[in-house]
Amino acid sequence: MGMLGGGGGMPDMSQMMEMMQGMGGMPGMGGLPPMGGMPGMMPPMEPARPKTIYAYGLADGAPTASLLTFYPNYIDSRKTVQQGRRVPQAQACDAPLADEMSEVCTYLKLPHVLEPSKKYPRDWLVSGRVRVRLVRDDGTPENADVPTRKALMLKMAELVPKLQSRKLRLEREAEEAKKKAAAAASATTTSSGGGKKKGKKKGRR
């Protein structure tokens, strides 16, 4: 037999290596993709964001201690005053993000930084804040339309819902929620339909 050694026993190691080379190696071994490339496993990790993003009007590394701080809770209509809301509920907006507040500051040409990982002390589930310069060194406002902290919070609450990036994000989240709901409904239907009981067979007489 071609696969047996000279004495009729199992082939030695050199013969096995030759046979494997002739067959192109063992299938599914050398060609396995690395773990990170296997679909359906762990989702790809998003790159870590810097602790401080100099979003507009400030040089990288500029001191930020004198800047005014704004958290999303300040203008969130879902939050109570005790939870940090600082504008009337009727003038607040629904679930703003620090990134959206930063986008508004850029639109208003206000020098600011975005700190995406900072937590609000009263609500640790809320991430992100912006730190803004409203007044120049000579005492004049950066933007005459928002000379004070309160004016900026009201302007943020007004403009955040109008952001195109926010509209796209909400549409994407709504679509993902619909897909998850459809998948859950399909799984429920499949599991309930697969448990049919078989009738008892009548015994032979």
Return the structure tokens found at 20.
């494997």
Q: Looking at the predicted structure, is the pLDDT value of residue 1 above 70?
A: no
Q: How many residues does the chain have?
A: 205
DSSP string, 50-63: PSSEEEESS-TT--
Q: Looking at the predicted structure, is the pLDDT value of residue 160 above 70?
A: yes
pLDDT digits (tens, 9 = 90+) for 24-60: 444 444 444 444 544 555 556 678 899 999 999 999 9
Mean pLDDT, the chain, integer: 83
Residue 183: C-alpha distances to residues 110, 171, 177, 179, 180 (Å)? 45, 18, 10, 6, 5
Q: Which tops the pLDDT comparison, 192 or 197?
A: 192
CB < 8 Å & 24+ apart, contacts of 71-78: 71/98, 71/120, 71/126, 71/128, 71/129, 72/96, 72/97, 72/98, 72/101, 72/120, 72/126, 72/128, 72/129, 73/120, 73/122, 73/123, 73/126, 74/153, 75/101, 75/153, 75/156, 75/157, 75/160
Domains of the chain: residue spans and CATH: 53-165 (3.30.56.30)
Q: What is the C-alpha R_g of the chain?
A: 31
Statement: the pTM of the whole predicted model exceeds 0.85: no
Q: Which residues contact 193 (CB under 8 A, 6 or more apart)?
A: none
pLDDT digits (tens, 9 = 90+) for 118-152: 999 999 999 999 999 999 999 999 999 999 999 99
